[in-house]
Structure 1
Amino acid sequence: MTNPLPPVVFEAPPVTPAGYGLLAAATVTEMSGPARQLGGVEVYPYNCDDGYGTYSTELCDDDPAVKAAGERGAPLTFDPVVVYAASECRTDQTEAEVLARAAHTRSLHEPLLVESAFAARLLADAGTPTTVPDLASAIGTLEEFLGEQGYNGYIHAARRWAARAADLKATNGTGAVPRTNIGNGWVFGGGYASALGNTLVATGPLFVWRYPAFEQVVTTGSHPQAALNNTVYGLSERIVTVAYECDLMAVTIDATP
């Protein structure tokens, strides 16, 4: 009887995180020093004051318009999230290798987790979405809204809508941030799938603040299951805050046949 040869071990290489999401569209600020944003970030908007209008050139107008200063956009506070990944230790790997694995897992899933949390905030702020019959109507409604704001903004959508948008020729499909025909950015977030579903949200400028990742080896100590006593794993975590400026609008595509 011959002994079978053992299989050759192959360690799959790490892959690069996917793009086209929130981090590609936002202005990202890399933070350093103490984590002073644990209490959140309060955004004072610059681009949504309402002190504007038109004025008649009639010199003898008995009731001229008042050129009032109007109101500044209301500040908004955004809370941070702590994104983490943990990788169990292995007897044939060093602590550095285990920490590298945890850091890679976090880098893969951090954009998705951040997008999912941000989508929940967008839906809460937008209120009841407007129902539209199809994607073309959704794009038109949101672009009309953004046009009324005076700036190009972003349309947040689950990736399921990317192919349909291309069919409609409503995206140029190039670059880290695809654009609509009139210049608004698409944010096809991988983390928007269940969070947004058939809902699309239009926002103004986007901002992300993130601190350096913190990594450590953790020992759990006593555990109710004897097999898990003194379990050791690598932990990688990072504080991330996401914000938008000014107003937003949400539409839901009616999925009823």
Structure 2
Amino acid sequence: MTNPLPPVDFEAPPLNPSGYGLYTAATVFDLTGPARQLGGVTVRPYNCDDGAGTYSTDLCDTDPAVKAAGERGAPLTFSPLVVWAASECAPDQTEAEVMGRAAHTRRLHEPLLVESAFAARLLADAGAPTVVPDVETAVGMLEEFLGEQGYQGYIHAARRWAAPLSEYRWNNQTGPLRRSPLDHGYVFGGGYADALGDVLIATGPLFVWRYEPFEQVVTTGSSGTPEHNNSVYGLSERIVTVAYECAIMAVQIGATP
């Protein structure tokens, strides 16, 4: 027998972004006012100078070490990108409700889109990765590389590597950022899956600049009367720039899990 009563509509509640990725690891600067970073950001490193060393206390040393200022880390310029999301208007929703839906879609997908774009930059900067046989060797090489820099850094990896890497840590961690045995931060970006695959990349400190979202209702079509046009939708956009400081290294695991 067919039930004569219609089903009850239920709109699922909005969810928060999953975390554990780039936005969790980076120092995030939320900017207001006019967008002044359309030309990008040039990071002038403070932690990459190589003017350091040792020398002997022998007062009669015939070949004393040269104490020189060394070289400063080279500045790196990072270009911004615009993340957008759109939601088409519905007859039973107000413009405010449609804009809220577009804003939520952008908020949910923004970290993934930013991570995917940043991964392409990391791969280009790192050059050809060093091929290693397994994830244990990969982490060991990256930790050794970061240790040579003198600071705690970050290891970027697709989420497929989270389970194998969970074997290589000192204790059960409950914070927002998972860490390696030597306490470098793992950046398990949801947007790294296709971009990085079986490549893991180590970097120095991470920074994100993001402007306030720009939101508007967009009308498409040729008529001057909005009601007569073909489509009306809510559009949410945001300008985001991501950067890292200092050195970078990539390793590629020979066998994908």
Q: What TM-score do the two structures reach when normalised by structure 1?
A: 0.94
Classify the secondary structure of the residue corresponding to 1:36: coil
Classify the secondary structure of the residue corresponding to 1:125: helix
In 2, distance between residues paired with 1:191 and 1:2? 45
User: What displacement does 1:173 show?
Assistant: 3.6
Residues 171, 179 of structure 1: 8 Å contact kept:
no
Is 1:134 the counterpart of 2:134? The answer is: yes
Is 1:186 the counterpart of 2:190? The answer is: no
Deviations 1:84-110 (A, max 9, x none): 000000010000000000000001000
Residues 26, 207 of structure 1: 8 Å contact kept:
yes
> Which residue in the other structure is 1:254 paired with?
254
Deviations 1:204-227 (A, max 9, x none): 00000000000000011149xxxx
Amino acid corresponding to residue 245 of structure 1 in structure 2 = E
Classify the secondary structure of the residue corresponding to 2:37: helix
Equivalent residues in 2 for 1:86-165, closer than 5 Å: 86-165=86-165
User: What displacement does 1:33 show?
Assistant: 1.2
In 2, distance between residues paired with 1:133 and 1:116? 25
Amino acid corresponding to residue 175 of structure 1 in structure 2 = G
User: What displacement does 1:137 show?
Assistant: 0.4
Two-structure CA RMSD over aligned residues (Å): 1.8
Is 1:66 the counterpart of 2:66? The answer is: yes
User: What displacement does 1:75 show?
Assistant: 0.2
In 2, distance between residues paired with 1:122 and 1:130? 14
Cα distance change on mapping 1:198 and 1:46 into 2, 3 Å: same
Residues 171, 180 of structure 1: 8 Å contact kept:
no
Amino acid corresponding to residue 5 of structure 1 in structure 2 = L
Deviations 1:54-110 (A, max 9, x none): 111110111111100000000000000100000000010000000000000001000
In 1, distance between residues paired with 2:164 and 2:216? 44
In 2, distance between residues paired with 1:107 and 1:127? 31
In 1, distance between residues paired with 2:54 and 2:171? 34
Deviations 1:133-189 (A, max 9, x none): 000000000000000000010000001111111134477442111111211001001
Amino acid corresponding to residue 166 of structure 1 in structure 2 = S
Cα distance change on mapping 1:172 and 1:44 into 2, 3 Å: farther
> Which residue in the other structure is 1:75 paired with?
75
* Count of residues in correspondence between the two structures: 253
**Structure 2 unaligned residues grouped into runs of 5+:** none
